[in-house]
């Protein structure tokens, strides 16, 4: 029993006087850590271990802490936990005409926070190092202990892995998910899941109208090609902040394409040509489903496409043996976008055109009423060039097939097909 008492008398003072571990923060205005290294050297006699400003700076960089700014209490706790030290020494060095000065703050566990200021000419001078050692000895010696203002549940473990902050971030994310927070667990893909997509560009297309006829002298086929200007928009208002929730899937879309400078030569007119007005547009609503880095949208819209000739400049008795077309109808559609890389998405889309009107080609003046099968498709790539900007490259096909109920000029069927390519600049959000 007596030896326990003796041990208590020996061990208790040793515990009470245990030396703290210290880290010196890179001092503001201290080029090359000259003064900071002197502070670390001076603290060695009163500390169990000292981390110099260079290593402390590396730890601050990992924690994204700015050495030039005064650390908050929260940041001090994070830094002490990272370095596994009790006390931090931070401060500022100021240069003067005759002499320099250093202001230090000593704070942490087991001591009262305190400040000191010393003047010196050279950080390596014996006088400065002696004064620094004496000043730190008073402030690092265990005295009247202060309770650390961390809750016990928040105190970092003494043995902490280097990835502690990454783990904390993961835990925070999981906690938000449990609360039903709208923040997304993973960032959306730049091009396949954009909430707003605006496109402006140019295309080139070739249109051909061919017939199936049993007559000796069928109507001539039509073939023209020309460039076009294109604008497109697709907007999902509820998806600007999150892809989650039913509202995020509702969207609007539309596009308009106008062929430029197109005309067709008219046989028997003495070399004259007739200007062609060719355009198409579509607008409607979609509902988009996001999965992984991909998306699939189902929609329905109103579509129109026309190819009409201006015959007003042709002379008397000169005719253009070509029917005009003006398609209008409802267009159920689907478009899928799939991530190829973090900045490249592959897309493919298709639509059936439920035609309500085909225009002059299906009137009694030309070939009469017909059953039609109409569809269109597109495929290509969206490439993000920078945040919020990109490039779209696509190929497109539009086709309308006719099965005429009456035979005029031996024509029983016809196919109106347009094949083209489009390149456009994208604004993505």
pLDDT, mean of residues 162-179: 53
Distance CA 150, CA 108 (A): 11
Question: For 196-219, how does the pLDDT look when each residue is reduced to its tens digit (9 = 90+)?
Answer: 999 999 999 999 999 999 988 899
14, pLDDT greater than 70: no
Closest CA to 119 of 83, 95, 152: 95
**Minimum mean pLDDT range among 11-15, 195-199, 256-260:** 11-15
Tokens of 147: 């309770």
* Helix, strand, or coil (residue 5): helix
The CA-to-CA distance between both ends of the chain, in Å, stands at: 77
Best CA proximity match to 282, nearest among 233, 239, 325, 347: 233
Q: Binning pLDDT at 50, 70 and 90, where does residue 184 land?
A: very low
The domains found in the chain, sorted by start residue, are: 16-178 (3.40.50), 196-312+319-428 (2.40.128.100)
- Looking at residue 397, what is its pLDDT? 98
pLDDT-derived band at 6 (thresholds 50, 70, 90) equals very low
How far, in Å, CA of 64 to CA of 59, rounded? Answer: 9
What is the per-residue pLDDT across 323-354, written as a single tens digit (0 to 9) for each?
A: 999 999 999 999 999 999 999 999 999 999 99
More confident residue, 180 or 64: 64
Query: Residue 177 pLDDT > 80, yes or no?
Result: no
Residue 204: per-residue pLDDT = 98
CB 100 within 8 A of CB 80: no
pLDDT digits (tens, 9 = 90+) for 19-36: 888 999 998 888 889 898
Q: What is the pLDDT of residues 61-84, one digit of tens each?
A: 888 888 777 888 888 888 999 898
CA dist list (Å): 80 to 46, 160, 394: 18, 11, 56
- DSSP string covering 354-410: EEEE--GGGSTTTT--EEEEEEEEEEEEEEEEETTEEEEEEEEEEEEEEEEEEEETT
Closest CA to 311 of 301, 321, 302, 303: 321
226 forms bridges with which residues in the sheet? 205
> What's the pLDDT at 161?
42
pLDDT band at 169 (very low <50, low <70, confident <90, very high): low
Q: What is the pTM of this model?
A: 0.59
The whole-number pLDDT of residue 96 equals: 83
Do β-strands 114-120 and 100-108 pair in parallel, antiparallel, or remain unpaired? Answer: antiparallel
Whether residue 382 is predicted with pLDDT greater than 80 in this model: the reply is yes
Angle subtended by helix axes 53-62 and 34-43, to nearest 10: 110
């Amino acid at each position: 029993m007596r030896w326990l008492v003796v041990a208590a008398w020996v061990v208790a003072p040793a515990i009470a006087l245990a030396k703290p571990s210290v880290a010196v923060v890179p001092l503001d205005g201290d080029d090359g850590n000259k003064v900071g290294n002197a502070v670390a050297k001076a603290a060695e006699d009163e500390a169990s271990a000292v981390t110099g400003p260079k290593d402390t700076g590396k730890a601050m960089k990992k924690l994204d802490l700015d050495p030039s700014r005064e650390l908050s209490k929260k940041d001090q706790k994070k830094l002490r936990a990272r370095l596994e030290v009790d006390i931090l020494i931070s401060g500022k060095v100021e240069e003067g005409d005759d002499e320099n000065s250093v202001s230090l703050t000593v704070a942490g566990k087991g001591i009262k926070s305190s400040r000191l200021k010393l003047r010196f000419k050279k950080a390596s001078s014996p006088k400065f190092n002696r004064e620094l050692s004496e000043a730190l000895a008073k402030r690092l010696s265990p005295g009247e202990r202060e309770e650390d203002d961390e809750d016990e549940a928040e105190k970092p473990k003494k043995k902490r892995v280097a990835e502690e902050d990454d783990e904390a971030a993961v835990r925070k994310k999981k906690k938000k998910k449990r609360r039903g927070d709208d923040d997304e667990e993973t960032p959306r893909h730049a091009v396949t899941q954009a909430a707003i997509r605006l496109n402006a560009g140019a295309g080139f297309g070739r249109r051909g109208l061919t017939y199936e006829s049993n007559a000796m002298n069928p109507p001539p086929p039509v073939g023209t090609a020309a460039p076009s200007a294109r604008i497109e928009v697709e907007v999902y208002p509820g998806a600007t902040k999150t892809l989650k929730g039913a509202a995020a899937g509702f969207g609007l879309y539309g596009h308009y394409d106008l062929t430029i400078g197109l005309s067709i030569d008219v046989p028997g007119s003495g070399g004259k040509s007739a200007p062609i007005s060719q355009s198409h547009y579509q607008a409607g609503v979609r509902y988009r489903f996001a999965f992984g880095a991909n998306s699939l949208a189902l929609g329905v819209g109103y579509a129109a496409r026309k190819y009409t000739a201006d015959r007003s400049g042709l002379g008397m008795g000169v005719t253009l043996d070509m029917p005009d077309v003006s398609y209008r109808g409802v267009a159920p559609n689907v478009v899928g976008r799939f991530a190829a890389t973090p900045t490249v998405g592959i897309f493919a889309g298709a639509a059936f055109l439920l035609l309500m009107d085909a225009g002059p080609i299906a009137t009694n003046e030309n070939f009469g009423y017909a059953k039609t099968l109409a569809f269109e498709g597109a495929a290509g790539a969206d490439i993000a060039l920078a945040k919020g900007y990109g490039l779209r490259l696509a190929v497109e096909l539009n086709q309308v097939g006719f099965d005429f109920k009456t035979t005029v000029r031996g024509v029983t069927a016809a196919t109106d097909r347009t094949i083209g390519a489009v390149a456009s600049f994208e604004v993505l959000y």
